[in-house]
Amino acid sequence: MGILGLPMQVLGLPHLPRYPCVHLQEFPQLLTPQSVEVPPLVEFNMAVVMEPMSEILSAASRLLLEELPASLGHSAPETPDPIAPGPVQPEETVVKLVSTPVPMCRLRAELLKDHRNLTFDPDTANKYLELLWGQRRAKHGPSAAVGWQERSCRFEPWQVLCVQSYGQGRHYWEVTISSHSVVLGVTYGEIPRHKVRGCKFNIGLDGGSWGLQVREDSYLARHKGQEEKIQLRLYTELGICLDYDHGLLSFYGLGERVQLIHSFHAVFMEPLFPVFWLCEGRTVTLCHRDCGEPGGELGL
């Protein structure tokens, strides 16, 4: 039936198909959306963020502009005066190569205050030891035996004493050796001149001498026939310090730094003479120092 109880055909309306009635109660109840909470407002403090970064940048700038140039021994470049008239012309950089001497070690400078110039005693030199440079260099070679004269105070081993002896105070001297297989030390004047059977030298064999044998890869400290091995590299420049009053005899290796090789502790009873033994082909040079120039170089 149509409107007012009349058929749809009477009203001139098309016939519509019938659909079942659908009730809303048949659908599940829709969920009511909950209210969305608004997040709190975050305040961005630029000063708090930038302050640590500013400190880092300031420290880096101070390091590059102040501390680094100072550590290299150069002052920071001066900033040109912006008020100065005229354009600022960049200065031309001049590179100059200067050979800077290596600063002397503080210990060596202290030792050199008591430096002594030594000379070899030709009357004690073995016949195969040739003395050169005003008795400042001893060289082991067969040519030294030419013109040799017999003297009772000469050593039978390849040894030689120095003219100087020391009985009080502190004394220091330096030597240069051509290679290993050398013995250097100090002794009382009555050291035996003859050769001991089975020994190439007699330095350090008794209680009246102290010696350091320079080997290829080590050192041997000798006294009273006993030896102590010291494992250090080979030094060709050596320093010897005798502190007579305190009973101390020290041997040093000389280089960019001073290396203590060995020290003897003893009670010295007589004046001590520097003494040396040289193997075949070896050379020992006594370093001399100009007393008038305390900061000068050591002469060979």
Cα distance between residue 209 and residue 223, in whole Å: 6
At 129 the three-state DSSP class reads strand
Give the pLDDT of residue 96: 37
Q: What's the gap between Cα 23 and its chain centre? A: 99
Give the pLDDT of residue 155: 96
pLDDT per residue rounded down to tens, the chain (300 residues): 554 455 555 445 555 555 554 454 554 554 555 555 666 665 656 555 566 665 666 666 555 555 444 444 444 444 444 444 445 444 443 333 433 444 568 999 999 999 999 999 999 999 999 999 999 999 999 877 666 677 778 999 999 999 999 999 999 999 999 999 999 999 999 999 999 999 999 999 999 999 999 999 999 999 999 999 999 999 999 999 999 999 999 999 999 999 999 999 999 999 999 999 999 999 999 999 986 444 444 555
Q: How far apart are the first and last CA of the chain?
A: 142
Q: What is the pLDDT of residues 79-95, one digit of tens each?
A: 444 444 445 444 443 33
User: Residue 214: is it exposed, middle or buried by C-beta count within 10 angstroms (0-12/13-18/19+)?
Assistant: buried
Q: Just give the CATH number of 106-299.
A: 2.60.120.920
Give the start-to-end residue ranges of the domains of the chain.
106-299
